[in-house]
Structure 1
Amino acid sequence: MPQIPGHLLTTMLDFMARRINVQLTRLKERNANAFMFVDEPGLQFLFSAMAGYGDIKARDDMDYFFAQVDRPRGIHLCGNPDWDFLLRMDLDVLSLDVHTNGEIFVSYAKAIQKFLDRGGVLVWGMVPTGIEAFEKEAIPYLTERLEDVWQTLWSKGIDRDLLVSQSMLSPATCCLINPDKEKTVERAFSAVNQMKEILGNKYL
């Protein structure tokens, strides 16, 4: 696969970082606790044979990029990348589609522990946003599935209070293809709020 020339890549990373900082500044004017995710589905394919892009070069480029992004720094991924690579990065927030990738994610318990020890926040995307998937899933079932993921991590030595206190909930993915446009996505956010109440009453 052809590689982007170094000077062009640097220009692109600089431009994207500045755009993020401008938007984050605007958001913080409305809410001091605001933060932004970099939504990067391409990271799922970063280490594939087709990419021709090694982990050392990838880390250097990502470190260069995020060093320019104001904190809190976050990434959201719907796919299944190299989680150990991401958890070792200098991130404040990591958002994932745990509805699809929870069983794989828990196998990185050691890296998750180190991420939490650094003060990192995990955003658990358990509520699907596609119409068909959303209609098939009841809130109690989704809540139980997330608790199963947490229970697995607790059994691997991660402190329960630490995990819960550094967790947020969200829909599993963005969704721009639903024929009902934003309606199912809004219902997914409502379901997230209901899950928050259930889990908050149980663990907080």
Structure 2
Amino acid sequence: MGWFTPHRATGLGSLPHQDELTALRVIAKAMPHWPHWPQLPAKMPAQGFVVQYVQPLIKLGVLTEIPLKDPVFARLDAGWESKAVMFFNNYLAFVNGDAGAEDVFALTGEAFAGLEAFINNFTHLFPAAEGVKGHVSGPLTVGLQIKDERGRACFYDETLRDLLVKCLAVEAVLEARRLKALGKPVLIFIDDPALFLIGASTHITLTKEMASAALLTVIEALHGEGVKVGVHSCAGIDWSILFALPVDIISFDAYHYFTGMALQAEGLAAYLERGGAMAWGLVPTSEEAWQETPETILSRFAGQCSELAGRGVDINMLRQKIIWTPSCGTGALPIDLAEHIYQLMEGVVRRLSALDNR
């Protein structure tokens, strides 16, 4: 038996609702064993993918918020260097165990209203929980969105990338600590869909080594807290990047990008043999979900298993090492579609459990 029971489901994070309790009830019904806390970007811009986990940099003025745009590292502004030094000093204080430094990095305010609601309502909404799932925005994706004063992606600047990665790592650690206080095993996904850009002709200076090193910093910080770590990418990427990292679970869009994973079946098989697990995103987070039922999803999965078996993957092992998810977050979808997707998740795991109990 692995660290989670087979036939469980969790979510990627975002939902389109305007109310935390409503979102939590949707999660509780579909994912009672491994619930996630909800991000509601449609309600609160501070919960958007790019800005949510860089709040400390914004608070200190290292990142300058521009209305209707992503924040920028405005290094030409007066006093920017002293603000950056202040961030690094707070980071070092945090790493050295200074409790006072946590105030700068605290997961508070509108950006983390969903986390607060999840914790406050956990006992009565999730009595069957076997573990809890959190999430943090990935360094590559955020680093390509946030620009410097020249409009260049900050990920390409070593100093700015260091600021960003350290900020994300501390935020992830604090999230892990808050979730651990619930008394359940904790799993945190690093959501980094921009990994698909590695090797693209549009990003020729972006290297696998840069992206892997940034991810590794966050992974190691979370492992230092004793939690399980996943990496999610909802695009077709070179999966060898993640197979080579010490991640406990790899999350992918198995609905649209299964072929790419199948082509790397040898790496997948070796990853599973080493103890890795998979988050199988086979419920599409698009209008295509209206055409699906739990039965069609499971039929598609059976076909995928047949293909992987033909490529040398131990399917019995794979089935024991899957946690089910939607293919991506649902925060940008209509509410009725998002709830349908979560209902599909519930139906899939219920049918799988029934098959095992025959």
The TM-score with structure 1 as length reference comes to 0.88
In structure 1, runs of 5+ residues without a counterpart are none
Measured against aligned partners, the alpha-carbon deviations of 1:134-182 in whole angstroms (never above 9, x if no partner) come to: 111222111111121122112222222211111111111112222x33x
Write the distance in 1 (CA, Å) between the matches of 2:302 and 2:265. Answer: 15
The alignment partner of 1:90 has SS state of: coil
Write the distance in 1 (CA, Å) between the matches of 2:285 and 2:219. Answer: 28
Query: Aligned pair 1:145/2:297, yes or no?
Result: no
AA aligned opposite 1:66: I
Q: 1:28 to 1:189 in 2, by over 3 A?
A: farther
Partner of 1:128: 284
AA aligned opposite 1:155: G
Worse-matched range after superposition: 2-11 or 115-124: 2-11
Worse-matched range after superposition: 91-100 or 149-158: 149-158
Partner of 2:322: 167
Partner of 2:221: 68
Q: Please say if residues 14 and 68 of structure 1, whose CA atoms lie closer than 8 Å, have aligned partners that are also in contact.
A: no
Q: 1:203 to 1:154 in 2, by over 3 A?
A: farther
Query: Aligned pair 1:100/2:256, yes or no?
Result: yes
The alignment partner of 1:91 has SS state of: coil
Q: Please say if residues 72 and 92 of structure 1, whose CA atoms lie closer than 8 Å, have aligned partners that are also in contact.
A: yes
Say which structure, 1 or 2, has more relative contact order (CA 8 Å, 6+ apart). 2
Partner of 2:172: 20
Write the distance in 2 (CA, Å) between the matches of 1:154 and 1:200. Answer: 22
Measured against aligned partners, the alpha-carbon deviations of 1:9-30 in whole angstroms (never above 9, x if no partner) come to: 1121111011111112212222
Identity in percent: 19
The alignment partner of 1:100 has SS state of: coil
Write the distance in 2 (CA, Å) between the matches of 1:20 and 1:60. Answer: 16
Write the distance in 2 (CA, Å) between the matches of 1:38 and 1:31. Answer: 22
The alignment partner of 2:285 has SS state of: coil
Query: Aligned pair 1:38/2:190, yes or no?
Result: yes
Measured against aligned partners, the alpha-carbon deviations of 1:39-78 in whole angstroms (never above 9, x if no partner) come to: 1121111221222112233333332332222331111111
Aligned-residue offset at 1:31: 4.9
Write the distance in 2 (CA, Å) between the matches of 1:159 and 1:184. Answer: 34
Write the distance in 1 (CA, Å) between the matches of 2:295 and 2:234. Answer: 22
Quote the RMSD (CA, aligned, Å).
Answer: 2.0
Write the distance in 2 (CA, Å) between the matches of 1:105 and 1:95. Answer: 11
Measured against aligned partners, the alpha-carbon deviations of 1:51-106 in whole angstroms (never above 9, x if no partner) come to: 21122333333323322223311111111111121222111111111010112211
Query: Aligned pair 1:158/2:313, yes or no?
Result: yes
Write the distance in 2 (CA, Å) between the matches of 1:84 and 1:29. Answer: 34
The alignment partner of 1:67 has SS state of: helix
Q: 1:157 to 1:200 in 2, by over 3 A?
A: farther
AA aligned opposite 1:124: W
Q: 1:187 to 1:31 in 2, by over 3 A?
A: farther
Matches within 5 A, 1:172-183: 172-178=327-333, 180-181=334-335, 183=336
Q: Please say if residues 283 and 327 of structure 2, whose CA atoms lie closer than 8 Å, have aligned partners that are also in contact.
A: yes
Residue number among 341, 344, 352 corresponding to 1:188 in the alignment: 341
Write the distance in 2 (CA, Å) between the matches of 1:4 and 1:75. Answer: 21
The alignment partner of 1:11 has SS state of: helix
Matches within 5 A, 1:104-119: 104-119=260-275
Number of residue-to-residue matches in the alignment: 201
Q: Please say if residues 125 and 169 of structure 1, whose CA atoms lie closer than 8 Å, have aligned partners that are also in contact.
A: yes
